[in-house]
């Protein structure tokens, strides 16, 4: 484990992650190409998205080898966005129902 200043890793690691990102992108494109619908579609899209994002942040951006203080400072604040998403989902539902009620 490095202290975060020197990030020297074997080049094969990057090639593997690169290949994995290609595979994951192909799979998520396949979700659309083969017209998968419903919860399976949304679930697969989110899983592939999070896997790709995780690989990029952890390996390409070297966050997996950084100190925990930096990891927490970067990864914890965006969780606040989930609160916003929750609030806005409820608000969007309400707006949708109100529109159905008044504009039909």
Partner 1 sequence: MSAVPASHDLALSPPVGWRGLISDWSSDREAFHIAWGKAMMWIFLLSDTFIFGSFLTGYMTVRASTTVPWPNPSEVFALHVGGTDVPLLLIAIMTFVLISSSGTMAMAVNCAYRRDRINAAALMFVTAGFGEMFVGMQAFEWTKLILEGVRPWGNPMGAAQFGSTFFMITGFHGLHVTAGVIYLIVVAVRLLRGKYEGGGGNYQIVEIAGLYWHFVDLVWVFIFALFYLW
Which residues are near partner 1 by CB under 8 A? 3-9, 11, 14-15, 17-18, 21-22, 25, 28-29, 31-33, 42, 45-46, 48-49, 52-53, 56-57, 59-62, 66-67, 69-70, 73-74, 77-78, 81, 84-85, 88-89, 91-93, 95-96, 99-100, 103-104
The 3-state DSSP class for residue 104 equals coil
**Six-digit token string for 18:** 């690169």
Nearer Cβ to partner 1, position 53 or 64? Answer: 53
CB of 95 to partner 1, least distance (A): 4
Burial class (CB in 10 A: 0-12, 13-18, 19+), 32: exposed
The 3-state DSSP class for residue 28 equals helix
CB of 80 to partner 1, least distance (A): 8
Other beta carbons within 10 angstroms of residue 20's beta carbon come to 14
Nearer Cβ to partner 1, position 64 or 99? Answer: 99
Tell me how far apart the alpha carbons of residues 44 and 17 are, in angstroms, rounded to a whole number: 20
CB of 25 to partner 1, least distance (A): 5
């Amino acid at each position: 484990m490095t202290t975060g200043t020197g990030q020297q890793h074997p080049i094969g690691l990057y090639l593997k992650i690169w290949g994995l990102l290609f595979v994951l992108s192909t799979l998520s494109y396949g979700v659309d190409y083969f017209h998968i619908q419903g919860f399976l579609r949304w679930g697969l899209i989110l899983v592939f998205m999070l896997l790709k994002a995780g690989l990029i942040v952890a390996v390409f951006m070297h966050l997996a080898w950084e100190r925990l203080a930096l990891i927490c400072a970067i990864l914890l604040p965006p969780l606040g966005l989930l609160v916003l998403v929750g609030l806005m989902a409820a608000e969007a539902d309400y707006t949708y129902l109100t529109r159905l009620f008044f504009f039909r």
